């Protein structure tokens, strides 16, 4: 029982850290794309800056972790254990695939 409580406590702490990280990085993300929506050259210019690439990577990783944790909570609430494992597996595949698709945007 203590292990389960500790695990839930750790999940809660991680969720709160992710929430706090998402607030400023989400504002930056919106401003980043508001500044780059006019044409492809402005987007290329913004992505040529390494700081913007790192912030975009941080936004993507934090967002994907947040999605994974929140979907895990939904799976725990609404599905049986075997279904939960299956949906979690597919969620991990989709998150991994989206990460692999996203990485070339940053480095090429």
Give residue 50's Cα distance to chain centre: 20
| Confidence (pLDDT) at 108 | 65
Tokens of 85: 């494992």
DSSP 38: S
**Number of separate domains in the chain:** 1
Q: Of 58, 60, 68, which Cα lies nearest the Cα of 11?
A: 68
User: What is the Cα gyration radius of the chain?
Assistant: 17
CATH number at residue 51: 1.20.1300
pLDDT in tens, 75-85: 888 988 888 88
Tell me the C-alpha distance between 62 and 1, whole Å. Answer: 30
Domain that holds residue 48: 2-107
pLDDT tier, 4 (very low <50, low <70, confident <90, very high otherwise) = very low
The total of other beta-carbon atoms located within 10 Å of residue 56's CB is: 20
Token pair for residue 35? 């500044």
Query: Locate tokens 């991994």: which residue?
Result: 96
* 17 or 35: which leads in pLDDT: 17
Q: Are 62 and 26 in contact (CB under 8 A)?
A: no
Q: Tell me which of 48 and 105 has the higher pLDDT.
A: 48
- Residues 56-74: tens digit of each pLDDT: 888 988 998 898 888 888 8
Which of residues 5 and 61 earns the better pLDDT score?
Answer: 61
């Amino acid at each position: 029982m203590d292990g389960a409580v500790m695990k839930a406590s750790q999940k809660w702490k991680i969720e709160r850290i992710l929430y706090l990280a998402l607030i400023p990085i989400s504002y930056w993300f919106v401003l980043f794309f508001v500044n780059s929506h006019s044409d492809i050259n402005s987007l290329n210019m913004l992505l040529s800056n390494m700081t913007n690439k790192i912030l975009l990577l941080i936004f993507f990783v934090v967002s994907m972790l947040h999605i994974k944790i929140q979907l895990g909570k939904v799976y725990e609430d609404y599905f049986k254990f075997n279904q939960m494992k299956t949906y979690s597996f597919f969620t991990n595949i989709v998150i991994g695939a989206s990460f692999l698709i996203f990485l070339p945007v940053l480095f090429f």
